[in-house]
Structure 1
Amino acid sequence: MDTASIIRLFCLAAIWGASFLFMRVSVPAFGPVALIMFRVGIAAVFLWLASRWLKRPLELRRTWKHFLTVGLLNSALPFLLFAYAALSLPASLLAILNATSPLFGAVIGALWLRTPLTGAVALGLGCGLAGVSVLVGKNIALANAGEWMAIAAGLLAPLSYSIASIYAKARPGVATPFDNAHGSMWMASLVVLPLFFLAPVRHLPDAGDWAAVSLLGVVCTGAAYLLYFRLIDDVGPTRALSVTFLIPVFGVLWGAVFLDEAVGWHTLFGGALILTGIALTTGVLERLRQAA
């Protein structure tokens, strides 16, 4: 991986790590549904403008069902779940829970695609489960019902991401990565729109709230997808997915710097266990050993 690709990788991790910061800041005013309606709507318009500039028209008539599935599983549902969780949980914890997606992917792959579970994968799943237990177990005696619902939502969101990933792998070539991002954002907007009328904006947002949701839609969603697909073109999907390991680092960093969130031993230790689990389940450690 050359220097330019490494810089893009860190920029992408910093951007996606900041998405939890912006959700945490803006969700009290907008509410989960309105926040995500604006997020996917702004991202859809941004990607439409990008498609016009790149002269890449979207073929919705042929692939709208595919875009609907991807938009629901990879955007609308997990975004809503994380926005709901952001009402109660710190941004740093959300960023770490987001990293569990490859762990869910390993389990779903074993059950759905009959992918065998090797010893390393099983050990990785154990590490990931232990990491989640450390993260949420510290306050087990103090957490109220609302916090437990938030934790459940924060785990269901990466589960949805992993289902979307396996669906995409099972249907290669249906659309280009850029079209998947563009089309899925429009379909995610259609999915969230009916909910928007049932759960409107909670309070009158101020300028800071609008700035956060705008950055969430344009930078953390629309521009981030373009950067991610550039990485895939340059270094391949496997190396591009290494961004998964960096997002929690930036998520914890931004939460501590801008929101004064405490970073205790449970956050660091639990996050390290989860990242170790991801490395084992995705075969990263084995590839590093072979490269050495």
Structure 2
Amino acid sequence: MAAQKNHLQQVAQLNFAVICISTSGVWGRYITLEPEQIIFFRAFLALVFVYLLCRFNHLSLKLEKGKDTYTVLWCGLCFGIHWVSYFYALSLSSVAIGMLAIYTYPVITSFLEPVLLKTSFVKAHLVLGVLVITGIYFLVPDIDFSNSQFVAICLGVISAFFYAVRNIMIKPKVQYYNGSVLMMYQLLVISILMAPLLYFTNFSKLYTALPGIVFLALITTTLGHTLLLRSLKYFSATTASIMSSVQPVYGIVMGMLFLGEFPAWHTLIGGALILTAVGVENIRTFKGTAGRQ
């Protein structure tokens, strides 16, 4: 009984993290800065917030030398590429296109995780991944290969690939390090890599964009992504990715409310398929936990 209650708490925490992360689509479209500016200031401010959080909770910031350090640094690089390609996808399209394109990552994860972590394939994950992709097809049925939306989708898939690799690589480390500490070092890597690009950018719009960037750094990144990292301690990277596939639906709803981007009827069908995959995975993992009691 206690294990089931704990599982429900972990599911609730993961879904709350997804809601926080879902705000990235709206802010990515609303903030009028260049993507590299958004990413740098988001990463740098989040780095400060996460560092203060680690200090407040008296967490050790030490990483073991060697493999752990290199893994976390590589994860920071992959996470940075994920952000850059994602925000460029948003700048070239709508919230729906940008967010849904990266949600090929549950399928990518389901294929990569067994290979990289030497685990067995789970047939249910492949089926649910296909269901998610089918949902995305209905959400974005008309692809014109000569316009910016196609480029946005390509960037979204690239973003999805690096996001999947990062989640898989970081998962084994979550068992030994606090998620906030791991997030802090990844944000440090992104901040260092993005800083030189600021030399070529215009800062005239920074003041008006600052509130949105602070929200991205504090809620979307510090709270959302840190909670998502912690969830990897209790769920596989594939399970977490499929359960978080409801994120595009949240993002589209936010786009409707705050940006006036209303989806077509086929978007409702796609969203229903994605929600079905999420619901099935929640039920499947819950029954798995109950069956071990």
TM range (shorter): 0.7 to 0.9
Asked if the contact 1:88/1:147 (under 8 Å) is kept, the reply is yes
Shift of 1:87: 0.7
Match of 2:25 in 1: 20
By how many angstroms is 1:70 displaced?
1.5
Within the candidate set 68, 71, 74, 2:73 is matched to: 68
Query: Is the Cα–Cα contact under 8 Å of residues 12 and 243 in structure 1 kept in the other structure?
Result: no
TM-score (norm 1): 0.80
Matched residue, 1:107: 111
CA deviations 1:31-65 (Å, max 9, x no partner) are 11111011111111111121222222422683542
Classify 1:259/1:64 alpha carbon distance in 2 versus 1 (closer, same or farther; 3 Å). Answer: same
**AA partner of residue 261 (structure 1):** E
Superimposed CA distance per residue, residues 256-275 of structure 1 (whole angstroms, 9 cap, x where no aligned partner): 00000112122222233344
2:154 to 135, 138, 152: 152
1:186 and 2:191 matched: no
How many Å apart are 1:116 and its aligned residue? 4.8
- When residues 114 and 268 of structure 1 are mapped into structure 2, their CA distance, relative to the original with a 3 A threshold, is farther
Give 1:231 shift.
6.3
For residues 15 and 168 of structure 2, the distance between their equivalents in structure 1, rounded to whole angstroms, comes to 25
The Cα of 1:180 is off from its aligned counterpart by 0.6
Matched, 1:33 2:36: yes
**Cα 1:6/1:163, change in 2 over 3 Å:** closer
Structure 1 residue 134: deviation in Å?
2.8
SS at match of 1:137: coil
Q: Structure 1 residues 42-51 or 103-112, which shifts more?
A: 103-112
Provide the residue aligned with 1:264 in structure 2.
Answer: 264
Contact 1:99-1:275 at 8 Å conserved across structures:
no
Q: Measure the CA separation in 1 of the matches of 2:139 and 2:262.
A: 13
Question: Which segment is superposed worse, 30-39 or 186-195?
Answer: 186-195
Local SS of the residue matching 2:91: coil
Residue 261 of structure 2: SS of its match in structure 1? coil
CA RMSD of aligned residues (A): 3.3
* Structure 2: tracts of 5 or more residues without a match: none
Compared CA separation, residues 38 and 130, structure 1 to 2 (3 A): same
Deviations 1:124-155 (A, max 9, x none): 343233333333332x24x6432211111112
What is the count of residue pairs matched by the alignment?
281
Partner of 1:254: 254
Residues 1:166 and 2:179 aligned together: no
Give the superposition deviation at 1:205.
Answer: 1.4
Query: For residues 63-105 of structure 1, what are the alpha-carbon distances to aligned partners after superposition, in whole Å with 9 as ceiling and x for unaligned?
Result: 54232112112x2111111110111222233333343322111
Cα distance in 2 between the residues matched to 1:127 and 1:134: 11
Q: Letter of the 1:53 partner, please give it.
A: F
Relative distance call for 1:285 and 1:103 in structure 2 (3 A) is farther
Q: Which has the higher contact order (CA 8 A, sep 6+)?
A: 1
One-letter amino acid matched to 2:139: L
Unpaired runs of 5+ residues, structure 1, are none
User: Taking structure 1 as reference, are residues 47 and 154 closer, same or farther at Cα in structure 2, changes over 3 Å only?
Assistant: same
Question: 35-44 or 156-165, which moves further after superposition?
Answer: 156-165
1:168-247 matched pairs, under 5 angstroms: 168-170=170-172, 173=175, 175-197=177-199, 199-201=200-202, 204-205=204-205, 207-228=207-228, 236-237=234-235, 244-247=244-247
Give the share of equivalent positions with the same residue, in percent: 22
Listed one character per residue, the Cα deviations across residues 237-283 of structure 1 (whole Å, up to 9, x for unaligned) are 46976761442232111100000011212222223334445667xx5
Change (3 A) 1:12 1:127: closer
Tell me which residue corresponds to 1:123.
127
Query: CA distance change for structure 1 residues 89 and 215 in 2, over 3 Å: closer, same or farther?
Result: same
Q: 1:131-188, CA deviations, whole angstroms, 9 ceiling, x for partnerless residues?
A: 33333332x24x6432211111112212211111221235565533221111111112
Structure 2 CA distance, aligned partners of 1:273 and 1:19? Answer: 22
The CA distance in 1 between the partners of 2:98 and 2:275, in whole Å, is: 14
1:11/1:240 CA distance change after superposition, 3 Å: same
AA aligned opposite 2:252? V
Superimposed CA distance per residue, residues 178-231 of structure 1 (whole angstroms, 9 cap, x where no aligned partner): 21111111112112223333x423x72165422111111122111324544676
AA at the equivalent of 2:100: I
Q: Partner residue of 1:48?
A: 51
